[in-house]
Amino acid sequence: MTTSTLSTAAPAASATPVAVSGRRRRNPRRTWSKVGLYAILTVGALIILLPLVWIVLTSFKTDSDAINNPASPLPNPFSIDAYQTLINSNEPILRWFLNSLAAGVLQTLIILVTASMGAYALARLDFPGKKIVFGAIVLTLFVPPVIFLIPNYLIVQNLGWLDTLWAITIPGAAGAFGIFFLRQFFVNLPGEIEEAARLDGAGDIRIFLQIILPLSRPALATLAVLSFLANWNDFLWPIYVLLSPDHETLQPGLAVLQGAYSTHFAIVMAGAVIASVPVMILFTLAQRHIVESVAASGLKG
Amino acid sequence: MADTPIARTASRSSRSGGPRGRRALTAYLFLAPFLILFLVFVVAPALWGIWISLHSWNPLLPIHRFIGLDNYIQLFTPGSLTSGDFWLSMGATAIFTVLSVPFLVVIPLFVAVLLNQKLRGGTVFRAIFFAPYVLGVAVIGVVWRYLLDPQNGVINNLLDGVGITQNFPWTVDVPWAWISLVGVTVWWISGFNMVIILAGLKGINAELYEAAAIDGAGAIRKFWSVTLPGLRPVMAFVTTTTILSSANMFGQSYLLTKGAPGHATRTAIMYIADEGLSQNQMGAASAMSYVLFAVLAIISIINFRLQSRTSGE
C-alpha cells in the first residue's frame, strides 16, 4: 500500500463495490461522502508531510539560496554544501551521531535485560513484598519527570558520570515503563508450556530463557524500538549532563547548531535531517509495532 | 498481582516446587538488576529531592544550610526573589495547557472518526499522521524555528507571495508565539492521540450503531449518543495524559521562542531547569518542582472526579 493506493482510492470507491460496505447498496450520496472523506484526509496528510519534505529540500540548498528564496521549495542549484560544511565544521556532528547511536543501543539493551527479568518475577513468581514492589513501580509512572531532574543530576555527579555516556544511559533505564509493559504481556502468556516444563524439572532460569523470552519476541521488539526512540529523542537531560562538545548527542547538538548557524538555515536543516534519518528508518520498518503499542496504551488506562 | 487464572495456577504450582524461602530468593534475584536501578535513580531521587528542597543548596558551596520550609514560603511570598518568575512561568504553562489541550483532543477525535470509516489506505493515513511524533522535540523545534522565522522563514514568505505582506512575529511576540507553540505541538503529537482514540473507536460494539440506525438516528446523532459515550474511558485517558504532557512542555519554548518576548513563554520546566542547573539554586528549584507536582496532582484528581461523575450519570 503506497501512494498508488492513495491516488486511485477515491475513484475506486465509486468503481468497485469492495470499497462500499457489503451490507448496504451503493448510492451516489455515499460515494460523494467518500470523496469528501478522502479529500479531508489528504489535506491533513499534506499538512503533516509538506513541512517535512520542505525541510529535506532546504537541506540541499546553497546557503544563499536558502536565505534568499525561502518561498521556493526546490533547491536551485541542487547542492550538498550544507552537509559538507556540517561535516567539516567545528561541530563534530558525526561524533554526535555515534554518541546518540551508542547511548540508544546501550540503554535499550539494559532495559531489555533488567525489565524482562524483573517482569518475569512480577508476572510469574510469587514472593513476599510483590504487591509493594509493583505498587511502587506503578506509582512512579504518575510522577512528572522534573521531580528527578535535580537530585539525579547530583547523583550522576557524585558517581563521576557527568559528561559521560553513563549519564545518558543508566538513569534513564530505571524508568517504570519497560517492566510495566512486559509484565502486562507476560501475565497474559498461556501457562501450559511452562507447567509442562516444570514437570520435566526445568528451573526458573530455563523457563525464562527458553519459554518466556521466545514467546515474547513481539513485545520485546516493540519495547526495544520504543526505548531506542525515547533515548534518541531525549533533549532536556542531555542538555544539562553533557558538557564538552565531543560528548554531545544529536538532539542537544541541534540546539548548538541553531546557535552557531542561526541564519545559515540549510546547514541547520541538514543537521535536522541527519538526526531524523535513523528514527524515520526505524519507524518505517516497525510502524505497525509502534502504532499498535501506542493504541493499546489507552485501552489499558 | 497475578490477575489471570493461568498466572495464578502457574505461581501456585511453582511454589510447591521448592521451599518458600528459596522461591522468594529466586524472585528477588530476577528483580535485583531492575530494583537496584529503580532504587538509585527513581526512589532515592524522589525522596532526596524533598530533603534538598529544605536547604539553601548551591552545589558550588561546601555547606548546604538547612532552612526548613523557607524555599516553599518564598514561593508563596509576593515580591520574593523567586516567586515572581516562578508564577510567571506557571502562568505561561497554564496558558499553553489551556490553549493546546482542546485542540490536542478534538482534532485527533475528528480525524480518528474519519479514519474509522471503512476505507482503503486507512493504515497509510494512520502512519502519516503518526509520523511526526517519532521525531524528537529538538528536530521539531529547529525545523519550525526556521519555517516560522519572521524575516527569512518559509511561512511569512509564502504569505508574502499571496499578498499578505505583514511580517508576523511568530517567534518573538505574543499572541503569535502562543499560536506557534500550540500549532507546532498540535502538528507534532495529534497523531499520537489519534491512534489511541482510533483503538477506542474499534472497541465500540457495532450492534449499538445498528440499534441506533433502526431508531432512525443519523450520523451526527450516532456520534453524540453512541460514539462519545462509548469513548468515555479512552477520552478520559487521553485528556489526562495530554494535560500532563502539555504542563511538562519544555523543548518547544526552549527552541522556538527561547521564552520570548521577555519571559512570557518560558514554561515552568524551563524555569526550574535553569534555576536549578544553570543558576545553581538547587534547593529553590527542587521546591518548585514539588509545587508543580502538587498542582498537577490536584488537577489530575479534579479531572478524574469530573470524568467519573459524568460517566456515573
A129 & A260 share domain = yes
H or E element, residue B65: strand B65-66
| B64 within a domain of the structure (yes/no) | no
Higher local confidence (pLDDT), A22 or A275: A275
Q: Answer whether residue A66 is part of any domain.
A: no
Of the residues B34, B106, B154, the best mutation for testing chain A's interface (the one with the most A CB atoms within 10 Å of its CB) is B34
Shortest distance between the Cα of A296 and any Cα of chain B, in A, equals: 7
- Same domain? For A122 and A30 the reply is no
Same domain, A51 and A101: no
pLDDT at A209: 95
Determine, yes or no, domain membership for A82.
no
Q: Could you tell me the CA-to-CA distances from B21 to A285, B13, B16, B187 in Å, in that order?
A: 45, 15, 12, 54
Residue A68 lies in a domain: no
* Residues paired with residue B55 on neighbouring β-strands, in sequence order: B66
- In the prediction, which pLDDT does B219 show? 86
The shortest C-alpha distance from B175 to chain A (Å) reads 22
The reply to whether residue A298 touches residue B237, judged by beta carbons under 8 angstroms, is yes
> Do A240 and A177 sit in the same domain of this protein?
yes
Interface of B with A in 274-313 (CB under 8 A): 276-277, 282, 285-286, 289-290, 292-293, 296, 300
Confirm whether B292 is domain-assigned.
yes
Q: What per-residue confidence (pLDDT) applies to B248?
A: 95
Question: Is A147 inside any structural domain?
Answer: yes
- Asked whether residue A80 is domain-assigned, the answer is no
Specify the amino acid at residue B10: A
Domain membership flag for residue B149: yes
Look at residue B15 in the predicted model and tell me its pLDDT.
44
Contact at CB, B121 and A6, closer than 8 angstroms: yes
B14/A114 CB distance under 8 A: no
* Nearest-Cα residue of chain B relative to residue A37: B114
B224 touches chain A (CB under 8 A): no
- Looking at the 3D structure of chain A, how many domains does it have? 2
Q: Is B61 on the interface with A (CB under 8 A)?
A: no
Q: Please, which residues 99-118 of chain B have a Cβ atom closer than 8 Å to chain A? A: 111, 114-115, 117-118
Whether residues A9 and A97 fall in one domain = no
Query: pTM of this prediction?
Result: 0.88
Q: Are residues A254 and A165 in the same domain?
A: yes
Residue A223: pLDDT above 60?
Answer: yes
**A170 lies in the same domain as A255:** yes
- Assigned domain for A159 exists: yes
Percent of chain B residues past pLDDT 90, beyond the cut: 74
Q: Is there a domain that residue B59 lies in?
A: no
DSSP assignment, residue A25?
P
Residue of B nearest to A22 (CA): B118
Decide if B74 is inside a domain: no
- Residue A36 sits in the same domain as residue A133: no
CA B16 to chain centre: 45
pLDDT for A262 equals: 87
> A173 and A107: one domain?
yes
Say if residue A124's pLDDT is above 80.
yes
- Chain B residue numbers with beta carbons less than 8 Å from the beta carbon of A51 are 143-144, 147, 187
**In one letter, which amino acid is B57?**
W
Examine residue A235 and state whether it is found in any structural domain, yes or no: yes
How many structural domains are present in chain B? 1
Q: Tally the C-alpha atoms within 13 A of residue A240's C-alpha that lie toward its C-beta.
A: 21
What is the average pLDDT score of chain A?
Answer: 88
Mean pLDDT score, A78-107: 94
Distances (CA, A) of B70 to A128, B75, B80, B269: 41, 9, 11, 21
Q: Is residue B285 part of a domain?
A: yes
**Do residues A152 and A280 both lie within one domain?**
yes
CATH value at residue B113: 1.10.3720.10
Q: State the smallest CA–CA distance between residue A261 and chain B in angstroms.
A: 11
Task: State the CATH number of the domain containing residue A281.
Answer: 1.10.3720.10
> Does A69 fall in a domain?
no
Q: pLDDT above 70 covers what percent of chain A?
A: 90
pLDDT for res A5:
35
Residue B264 Cα distances to A228, B34, B275, angstroms: 34, 41, 16
Q: Is residue B61 assigned to a domain?
A: no
Inform me whether the pLDDT recorded for A22 exceeds 80. Answer: no
pLDDT digits (tens, 9 = 90+) for A29-39: 778 888 999 99
For the record, the C-alpha cell of A123 comes out as 508476572
For residue B279, being part of any structural domain is answered with yes
Place of cell 432512525: B216
Average pLDDT, integer, range A44-54: 96
- Tens digit of each residue's pLDDT, chain B (313 residues): 334 444 444 444 444 445 677 889 999 999 999 999 999 999 999 999 999 999 999 999 989 999 999 999 999 999 888 899 999 999 999 999 999 999 999 999 999 999 998 888 889 999 999 999 999 999 999 999 999 999 889 999 999 989 888 889 999 998 999 999 999 999 999 999 999 999 999 989 889 999 999 998 888 899 999 999 999 889 989 999 999 999 999 999 999 999 989 999 999 999 999 999 999 999 999 999 999 999 999 998 888 888 777 654 4
Cβ neighbours of B192 in A, within 8 Å:
294
CA distances from A269 to A161, A229, B170 (A): 31, 20, 19
Dihedral angle computed from the Cα positions of residues A102, A108, A110 and A112, in that order, rounded to the nearest 10 degrees: -150
CB pairs under 8 A between A and B: 327
Domain holding A292, by residue range, is 87-300
Mean pLDDT over A199-214 rounds to 93
What is the phi/psi pair of residue A56, to 5°? -60, -45
Query: CA-CA distance, B92 to B150, in Å (whole number)?
Result: 22
pLDDT single digits (tens) B93-132: 999 999 999 999 999 999 999 999 888 888 999 999 999 9
Name the residue in chain A with its Cα closest to that of B290: A147
**Are the beta carbons of B132 and A48 separated by less than 8 Å?**
yes
Per-residue pLDDT tens for A248-289? 999 999 999 999 998 899 999 999 999 999 999 999 998 888
Domain residue limits at B253: 82-312
What does the alpha-carbon distance between residue B82 and residue B79 come to, in Å, rounded to a whole number? 8
- Indicate which of B12, B37, B258, B293 best probes the interface with A, i.e. most A CBs within 10 Å of its own CB: B37
Q: What was the pLDDT predicted at A26?
A: 60
Residue A135 and residue A194 in one domain: yes
CA A155 → CA A146, B59, B171, distances in Å?
15, 12, 36
Q: How far apart are the first and last CA of chain B?
A: 31
Q: In terms of domains, do A126 and A51 share one?
A: no
A130 CB neighbours in chain B (<8 A) are 1, 27
Please tell me whether the interface predicted TM-score (ipTM) of this complex is above 0.90: no
